[in-house]
Structure 1
C-alpha cells in the first residue's frame, strides 16, 4: 500500500453519515449504496419507530449502525438524538442525507477537506440536482458559496440544502442542537443559530441528487413548515436587509399557492433553457 492510499484510508474516520428514517427500507438501501468513497464510510441510521424496523443493508466499504427510537417522534427528535449519539462515539463531522436521495462520488472527502481547511465553517452544503422519484432531472439548486451571501439571503431562498450538508458536531451542540421549536423547519432554525457564531458555506459543485417526493415533509407538512419559517423570519428579521423583506413576501405567497402549482413555477424558473 502506498502512502497516499494509506492516507486515504484514514481521511473519513471522524465523519459519519447521519440518516433519519421512518419506514422506506428500499429508499434507505438505494441511498446508502450511492456512497462512493476511497475510505470506509461510517453511517448512523436513526430509525424513528419504523414498522417493520429498518435493517442495515450489507454494502461494501460501509460500516452501518442502526439506532432505534422506541416510537415515532419526528425528524427533529431523530436528528437531535443522532447528533448526540455521534458525539458520544467520537465523530467530529455529521454528513446529512435523507432516504431516497443519492450522493455524488467523493462528496464526503471533498467536504471534509474543505472544513479542515476552514475551521470557522460549521456547516457546508453543495449544489443539488432535484430529480423525480424515477431519477429524471428537474432543476438544479445552485445557491451562493460565500458565508456573507448566505447570511444575507438565508430567508429569501434555500441557501443550504439540508441533505447535502456536512456539519461540525461540536458547533451544532454548542448552539443547542436540532430542536422542535420550529417543526418542519428544523434545518433553517439550526442554520440561523449556527450563523450567529460560525460560518456556513457551499461547495459550488454537484454533491447531491435530491428526490422530489410528494410524500416528504415539504409536501405533506407544508403549511406547518411555512408557518415555522415565518416565525423564524420574524424573530431574526433585519429591517436593513432587503432579502428579509422579500423572504417574508415569498413565504406569504407560498401560503396562497397550492403545492403542485408552486412546483410548476419552480420548474419553469429553474429548468435549463436548453431543455425547455
Structure 2
C-alpha cells in the first residue's frame, strides 16, 4: 500500500474522470479512490480502471443516490483513516495533475513534519484546454494564515493533507455548503503549518456545470458565515467580507475576466 490516497468525487462527468485518471503520472506511487455520488448512469470500475497507470491501486465506491460532495469527501477521509494512509490528496474529474505532482507534495510533507497542508500554484483552463490565468497565492505559513481571512488560497483539487490532522479537525464540516474545503483548511491550521509550493502542479478546469459555478450564491452565503465566525476585526478580515459581497453580486464570467487581468 502507498502512503497517499487520492480521492476523486464524481458526478456525471465520466469523460472528465477518465481524462483526469489518465493524466496521473505512471511513476506516481499513489492509490486512487473514486467516489461516485449518484451518477446516472453509474460508472463501473471497468469504465475507469484501464485509464490508471500509476503504481498503486484504484477502486470505486458508489452512492446509489446523490448525497452531496461533503458526504463523498468524508467517505474518502474515513477510507484513508481506516486503511492507515498518511496523506490524502484531492483531484476532481476534469482537472489535470501535472508530472510528479503527488510525489512532490508527499516529499514536502514527509520532510516538513510540522506541516499538515500543502497546495501549489494552479493554471486555470477552459474545458477546451485554453489558458485563462495562473493562480499564484503566497507560499509561507504566515502569509497564508493572513490570506485565509480574505479568500481561500488553496485550490481544493490541488492539495495534499495529513490524514491525522483531518481527523483531529473532525473531517469536512457540514455547516458551510459549497465551502467545505475552506472551512476545513481554517481548522487544519490549528494543528500545524500550511504551505503553497511555488510551481504549477495542477490545471484546473473552469466549466459552467461545475459546483463552484452552479452554487456561487450558496458559496457566497457560506463565506459570509465562515468569515464572520472567524472574524477578528483586523483589516484583512474586513477586506474578506467585502470581497465576498463582490462575488455575490457579480456574474461568474465577469469575475473570471477580472482574474485574467489580475493574475494573467
Q: TM-score, normalised by structure 2?
A: 0.94
Partner of 1:251: 244
Larger radius of gyration: 1
Say how many residue pairs are matched.
Answer: 259
**Could you say what secondary structure the match of 2:199 adopts?**
strand
Whether contact under 8 Å (2:4, 2:89) holds in the other structure is yes
Offset from partner CA, 1:45-72 (integer Å, 9 cap, x none):
0111111112332132352110112321
Matched, 1:223 2:212: no
Partner of 1:3: none
Partner of 1:268: 261
Cα distance in 1 for residues equivalent to 2:196 and 2:3 = 20
Taking only aligned residues, the RMSD between alpha carbons, in angstroms, comes to 1.3
How far does residue 37 in structure 1 lie from its aligned partner after superposition? 4.5
**Which ranges in structure 1 are unaligned for 5 or more consecutive residues?**
1-11, 272-276
Query: Once superposed, which parts of structure 1, at least 4 consecutive aligned residues long, lie more than 3 Å away?
Result: none
**Which ranges in structure 2 are unaligned for 5 or more consecutive residues?**
none
Among residues 68, 72, 84, which one is paired with 2:62 in the alignment?
Answer: 68
Partner of 1:100: 94
Partner of 2:82: 88
**Could you say what secondary structure the match of 2:203 adopts?**
strand
**Could you say what secondary structure the match of 1:108 adopts?**
helix
Whether contact under 8 Å (2:114, 2:192) holds in the other structure is yes
**Could you say what secondary structure the match of 1:264 adopts?**
helix
Partner of 2:39: 50
How far does residue 40 in structure 1 lie from its aligned partner after superposition? 3.7
**Could you say what secondary structure the match of 2:107 adopts?**
helix
Among residues 6, 10, 35, which one is paired with 1:21 in the alignment?
Answer: 10
Partner of 2:235: 242
Whether contact under 8 Å (2:121, 2:199) holds in the other structure is yes
Q: TM-score, normalised by structure 1?
A: 0.90
